[in-house]
Amino acid sequence: MAPYAQYPSLKDKVVYLTGGATGIGACLVERFASQGCQVIFNDILDEQAHILCETMSSKGFIKPEFHAVDVTNVDLLKESIRRTHTQFDRIDILINNVSNDARHSPTEMSQAQWHSFMQVNLDASFFCCQEVIPIMQAQGGGSIVNMSSINVLIGPHNMASYAAAKAGINGMTKALANQYGVDKIRVNSILPGWVVTERQLNLWLTPEKEQEWQERVAIKGRLLPDDIANLTLFLASDDSKMITGQHMVIDAGRT
């Protein structure tokens, strides 16, 4: 791992993260663990999640805990957060990372499909906040980071519901930041550009698309999960203690 910043304020913090088995989420699990955090994450990919936990433990980090939860089941999701609180007595940091970026034609999407996308891409983040905020209020504060996307700003084809959900994430971020700043709860969102993960390479990021992207960015080179993790750690740490209600773009200058 590159010699990234170490944040003293993150040591021993309890972090709850959604969708942590692969992609940016897995990188976040690793990077928070490397800060000395106890990470609890959920996902539907059991095998990848268990491998990640074992890998972190073998590297000498506090072993992350995995909860097998489909976030569209809000009862299970909330139960997972309550279990985390019971076990570790606090939740200092919430990272709402889960998403489904499957493409769809706006004119063909059924009502059921629209709702199922919203359940993953917006509802899960709201209900995690709903469960975590009283915990953070009682313990005297916390930091919430919500993963949004620059798709809110650029509006790509066949991603209307994804972009709508991410715009919702930004609105929710602002409203919760204003309401709960008084409790020392900070809420920020991150809008990444096109981040190169296995899934993106397998599904969407063809050589042609990548060339198109590179022609449009100011800083040439791939945006990687670690680049998103660097900003996430900063927003989770006390180094950003006066930053809240912000929507931070990290896209190599695409927008």
Ligand X SMILES: NC(=O)c1ccc[n+]([C@@H]2O[C@H](COP(=O)([O-])OP(=O)(O)OC[C@H]3O[C@@H](n4cnc5c(N)ncnc54)[C@H](O)[C@@H]3O)[C@@H](O)[C@H]2O)c1
Contacts with ligand X by CB under 6 A lie at 19, 21-25, 42-45, 70-72, 97-101, 120, 147, 149, 192, 194-195, 197, 199-200
- Residue placing its CB nearer to ligand X in the complex, 76 or 137: 76
- Closest CB to ligand X among 62 and 74? 74
Instruction: Supply the minimum distance, in Å, between the C-beta of residue 137 and ligand X.
Output: 25
Please, what is the minimum distance in Å from the beta carbon of residue 27 to ligand X?
8
d(CA 231, CA 250): 8
Q: Provide, rounded to whole angstroms, the least separation between the CB of residue 191 and ligand X.
A: 7
The DSSP symbol for 107 reads T
Task: Please report, as a single letter, which amino acid is at residue 87.
Answer: Q
Closer by beta carbon to ligand X, 142 or else 225: 225
Joined together, the tokens standing for residue 153 give: 């700003």
Nearer to ligand X, 139 or 196 (CB): 196
Report residue 224 CA to chain centroid gap: 14
Residue nearest to ligand X (CB): 23
CB of 77 to ligand X, least distance (A): 8
d(CA 153, CA 37): 33
- Active site annotation includes 162: yes
Q: Which is nearer to ligand X, 9 or 48 (CB)?
A: 48
Contact, 162 vs 112, CB < 8 A? no
Q: How far apart are CA 71 and CA 48, in angstroms?
A: 17
Looking at 34-154, list the stretches that DSSP marks H as alpha helix, in order from N- to C-terminal side: 46-58, 74-88, 111-118, 124-139, 151-154
Closest residue by Cα to residue 18 from 66, 63, 62, 85? 66
Nearest to 67 by CA among 119, 17, 131: 17
Minimum CB distance to ligand X, residue 33 (Å): 16
In order of 13, 171, 236, the CA distances from 161 in angstroms are: 34, 15, 28
Nearer to ligand X, 35 or 232 (CB): 232
Least CB distance to ligand X at residue 149 (A): 4
Give the C-alpha separation, 14 to 214, whole Å.
Answer: 37
Phi, psi dihedral angles at 90 (to 5 degrees): -160, 165
What's the farthest any 2 CA atoms get from each other in the chain? Answer: 51
Question: Which of 7, 16, 162, 180 is flagged as catalytic?
Answer: 162
What is the set of active-site residues? Answer: 162
